[in-house]
Amino acid sequence: MVEKSYKKFTSDILFTDDTYVIIGSGIGGLSTAVFLAKAGKKVVVLEQHYTPGGFTHTFKRRKGLVWDVGVHYVGNMDENSQLRKIFNYLSGNKLKWDPMGDPYDIAYIKGRRFEFVGGKENFRQKFYEYFPEDTSAIDAYLELLNKSIKKNLLYFVQKAFPELLHLTLGSLLRRIQKPLSQKTTYDTLREITDNQELIAALCAQCGNYGLSPKESSFASHCIVINHFMEGGHYPRGGANRIHETIIENLESLGVAVFINAKVNKIITSSHSVSGLVINGKEYHCKKVISNAGAHNTFQYLLDQKSLHKKYKELKNIKPSTCHLCLYIGLNKNNADLKLPKYNIWWYADIDTDKVLNDKNNLSDDQLSFAYISFPSAKDSLWSEEHLGTSTIQLIGRAWYKDFTEFEDQPWLNRGEKYNEIKEKFKAKGLSLLKELYPQLESHIIHAEVSTPVSTRKFSNYKYGEIYGVTHSPKRFSTKMLKPRTKIKGLYLTGQDITLVGVGGAMASGILTATTIIKWNMSKQFKEIAAKY
């Protein structure tokens, strides 16, 4: 694997008044950059980390072991899907995908095994087999998913409307979607069934949006489940290929992506953007697109005195969940160890809310919840580039309050108590893995744990959250999570204005670019339809 090198930000770089400066090189920022550059706009992307890509980046350890940190699979990537065509456009046709096949997910719920397979009718038949007495409830559920598609799409489209249209037609579209978004997933499912095991199975993938059924908006659930309804895909060559191919395309368009460029502050004057403080130095610019997250943008990057009072509502919307992750390296290949491509959702009980909100998860002797991914098995190029090795990840839920005492401690030296927490999680994670896959016992050569303070350090999310703003009903009731802000020259992009995941972040790029270049986006949509 050839190591990519990226430009470091230097103090002599200047921006013109018509340059769009994008804060953050996650997929939201990179997607926005491509659409703007294709429309002839001047664009620069700034990344505070030493590597770009946000949660699409990967990291490596000895013997070439590599893990992704955020992209475990992507849905709706069949050859002729619209999402696939858009990523072809963003990457200049360089990004390739490997199908995970069936099943793409398996859930173990209190010992019972459920397979998730691609295709709505295949899903229906599988769940008929699991719950033969509940076929009408399963039909009703699939009908709810189907009816949600257009309502959710129109809800997001109205976010790009000009202000007057956003207040008028946008208000109507928000009202149409409101019954979907303002009910919790659990309350909605209870209207069609009282079978708690069926509800648990239907919600087994809720970790993809980071919230339990009694807390999450049903709109969030519908979007994510519909996204994976046709199965899962994984980027060929690893998750890093997503940002690498898009950045290669951006460079061909004349867009610079700089690393080691930490934005400390967005400077405003007369309620307009007038500059940025980058690495402690002030720079003049008039157009800024923040992919740093809504909380980071409004609570940390902007002067609180300059904020419109309307933005105070963001303080009432919580950040999303945080996690612990166990990264495992093995000294045999995927085939020899019989590692699967599918992901595992493991629950100790059918009460999903109880499991996902188990505050004793750190102290108990066994895990009540885990998500397990096999990145090396999903990647068809792994065996060519990483001979005789394989990798696994196991994720558990965490609460940032359990880690606040360590947040100011130096990386890799946070003390004995911190290390004890990690070691206990490692032991529990390895125990579960060996229970599921006994053949791993003598082949583990590396195991390390990341925590919410690790996420905080590398992603700059203040509470170690991985999904930005939480996916509760309140997320959908606020009007401020959209590309255009009340500050002239400041725009938002990224998962907070759409939804979690690679697909959601990419969609935010479309929304933000459409907000800026308006009807000129139609030329790009026509090009995508015709050539990709």
Q: What is the dihedral of CA 392, 397, 399, 405, to 10 degrees?
A: -20
Rounded CA-CA distance 504/75 in Å is: 11
Rounded CA-CA distance 493/43 in Å is: 14
Would you give the distance in Å from CA 391 to the centre of its chain?
A: 21
Single-letter code of the amino acid located at 181: S
> What is the pTM (predicted TM-score) of this model?
0.95
Single-letter code of the amino acid located at 403: F
**Which sign does the torsion angle of CA 405, 411, 417, 421 carry?**
positive
Check: CB of residue 107 under 8 Å from CB of residue 113.
Answer: yes
User: For position 169, what pLDDT does the model report?
Assistant: 96
Number of other residues whose CB lies within 10 A of the CB of residue 71: 25
Structure confidence by residue, pLDDT tens digits, 231-268? 999 999 999 999 999 999 999 999 999 999 999 999 99
Residue 427, pLDDT > 90, answer yes
Out of 3.30.420.40, 3.40.720.10, 3.50.50.60, 1.20.1600.10, select the CATH number for domain 7-57+77-92+237-316+468-531. Answer: 3.50.50.60
Mean pLDDT for the stretch of residues 440-454: 95
What three-state secondary structure class fits 112? strand
User: For position 161, what pLDDT does the model report?
Assistant: 95
Order of strands, sheet of 74-75, starting from the edge strand that comes earlier in the sequence: 74-75, 232-235, 97-99
Residue 466, pLDDT > 80, answer yes
What three-state secondary structure class fits 43? strand
Q: Where are the domains of the chain?
A: 7-57+77-92+237-316+468-531, 120-226, 322-339+374-459
Structure confidence by residue, pLDDT tens digits, 108-117? 999 999 999 9
Number of other residues whose CB lies within 10 A of the CB of residue 91: 24
Number of other residues whose CB lies within 10 A of the CB of residue 429: 25
Structure confidence by residue, pLDDT tens digits, 307-362? 766 677 787 888 899 999 999 999 999 999 999 999 999 999 999 999 999 877 77
Tell me which H or E stretch contains 454: helix 452-459
User: For position 459, what pLDDT does the model report?
Assistant: 84
Structure confidence by residue, pLDDT tens digits, 174-233? 999 999 999 999 999 999 999 999 999 999 999 999 999 999 999 999 999 999 999 999
Mean pLDDT for the stretch of residues 86-107: 98
- Which residues have CB under 8 Å from 475's CB, separation 6+? 217, 220, 317, 469, 481
- Which residues have CB under 8 Å from 507's CB, separation 6+? 156, 498, 499
Check: CB of residue 275 under 8 Å from CB of residue 301.
Answer: no
